[in-house]
Amino acid sequence: MASFENQGAISLRKVQEILLPRAMKDRELLKLMPFQKVDEVSLIYERRQVVTGRQWARGDMGPTGPVKKPGIDAWPVEPGMYGDHYLITEKDLIKLREAGKWDSWENYDKQEARGAMHLTQRYLDRVEDNIAQMLMNGILMASNVSGTAVDVQVFKTNQYAPSVLFDQLATATPLKYLRNLIPKLELGLSVSMRKGFILLSRPTLNLILNNANSADFYGRRADYGATFNNVEDLNEFQAGNELPPFKVYDAGYYSDPPSGAPVFNRFLTNGKLVFVGQRTDGEPIGEYRLTRTAQNPNSAPGDWYSVQDLRQHEPFSVILRQGHNGGPVPYYPEALATVTVAPSNSSEFA
C-alpha cells in the first residue's frame, strides 16, 4: 500500500478516458447498415434474376418467340451469437474509491453504470467491426474468449485493385483509376456510385493528397494554383468531375492484449477504399439484423442486458451481462465495392 506521510501536498484530479464512448450518430458503419430487429432465427433473402434478352423478330406472318423467365437467387444468412459479462466483486463494492478523490467511495450505482457503458461500447464496436470485416475482406470471423473462431460468414463482395498501387506516389493514377472504375460499378445496375461516397481512413486519403504524378491528381490545381491540401478541397474537385466524395472514418477499438499496452485497431484497414452507392429506388443497401434471443422476454429480437445480484450470496458479487444475436446482411451487394489501393503495411503509412 502506498504511503503519503512524508510527501508534500498532493493534488489528485480525475481525467477522462483515452477513448470516450461514441454516440450512435457518430458511427458511420451503423449508418450504412442500421439495426433492424427481426423475429427470426435465420434468413434466406431472395430476389428475381435480371430480365434478359430483347424482343424477337417475328417476320411477316411469323410466330412470336419464347421468353426465358428469370429465376430466383437466394442467399442464406445465419446470425452470430455474442455476449460479454462484467464482474463487480466484493472487493470492488467495499474498497473501490472514486477516481480523483482520496476520501470518497464509489457506490454501487456508479460502478454498475460504468460497467453498463463498458459493455455497450464493446457491443457497438463488435457490430461495427463485423460490418467492416464484411466490407474489407468479404469474410466475417469472430472469436470467443479462448481465441477460437466461432462465427464465420462469407459474403459475396466486389473486390478490385489498380495495376499501380496508390502508394507509388510518382506513378500512381488515382484520378484516372476512379474515373474508369465508376462506369464499371454502375453498368447494368440500378445503382448510382456518383450519388454515394467513398469511405476510407485518413492515412489512405493522404495517399491521394500526396500524389506526385503530374499527369494525375498532382497535376490538377485547385483555385489560385494551390494543390489539394484537405478533404474539402478534394471533394470539391470530385463533385466537379462527377465522382463521389471521400468520407474519412478513423474510428476503431482497443484490443484486449494478454499483456502490455492495448493496441488501437481501425475498423477500416489502411489502403482500402469502400465505394458505397445509392439504389435508384432509394432502397437501403443492407441492415444489421438483430434476431431472436432467449435472454429477452418471449425470446424477442434485439440486444439483451441482465444484472445478476449476488450480494446476499456467495461469491458476493454483481454480474452484468450483455449480448446479441445477429449480423450484417447486404441486401444489395452490387452497391458496395472495396478497392485495395495499397498494402496495409506500406511504408507510406509508417
Mean of pLDDT values over 289-302: 93
Q: What is the pLDDT of residue 108?
A: 83
In this predicted structure, the answer to whether residue 340 has a pLDDT above a threshold of 90 is yes
Q: What is the rounded CA–CA span in Å between residue 303 and residue 294?
A: 11
Which one, of 75, 67, 77, 73, lies nearest residue 50 by Cα? 73
Name the strand (E) or helix (H) holding 135: helix 108-137
Q: Rounded CA gap, 38 and 291, in Å?
A: 5
pLDDT value at position 245?
A: 95
Alpha carbons 139 and 129: distance in angstroms, whole number: 11
Is the pLDDT at 96 greater than 70? The verdict is no
Does the pLDDT value for residue 272 go beyond 50? yes
**Grid cell locating 43:** 434468413
Strand runs (DSSP E) across 185-303, as ranges? Answer: 191-200, 246-248, 252-254, 264-266, 272-279, 286-290
- pLDDT for 165 equals 98
Question: In the chain, what percentage of residues exceed pLDDT 90?
Answer: 57
Query: How confident is the model over 94-111, as a mean pLDDT?
Result: 71
pLDDT in tens, 131-181: 999 999 999 999 999 999 999 998 888 999 999 999 999 999 999 999 999
Smallest CA-to-CA distance from 197 within 271, 277, 281 is with 277
pLDDT tens digits, 12-38: 343 344 444 567 788 999 999 999 999
Percent of the chain with pLDDT over 70: 88
Is it the case that residue 4 has pLDDT exceeding 60? no
pLDDT at residue 7 greater than cutoff 60:
no
Provide the pLDDT for residue 305.
Answer: 92
| pLDDT tens column, 241-262 | 899 999 999 999 998 877 778 8
Name the DSSP class of 244: P
Residue 56 confidence (pLDDT): 85
Of 98-107, 176-185, 193-202, the least confident: 98-107
The answer for 298, left when phi > 0, alpha when psi is -120 to 50, beta otherwise, is: left
Report pLDDT for 240. 86
pLDDT at residue 3 greater than cutoff 70: no
Q: Does residue 21 contact residue 250 with C-beta atoms inside 8 Å?
A: no
Q: What is the reported pTM?
A: 0.86
- Across the chain, mean pLDDT equals 86
In the predicted structure, residue 43 carries a pLDDT above the cut 60: yes
Give the contacts of 11 (CB within 8 A, at least 6 positions apart): none
Instruction: Summarize the confidence of residues 40-57 as an average pLDDT.
Output: 82
Strands, E assignment, the chain: 35-37, 43-48, 72-77, 80-89, 139-143, 149-154, 159-160, 191-200, 246-248, 252-254, 264-266, 272-279, 286-290, 304-309, 317-330, 336-340
Q: Is the pLDDT of residue 221 over 90?
A: no
Torsion angles phi and psi, residue 219, rounded to 5: -80, -10
Q: Which of 61-70, 118-127, 201-210, 217-226 has the lowest mean pLDDT?
A: 217-226
Paired sense of beta strands 159-160 and 336-340, if any = parallel
Give ∠ CA 206-210-212 in degrees, rounded to 5: 155
Single-letter amino acid code for the residue at 241: N
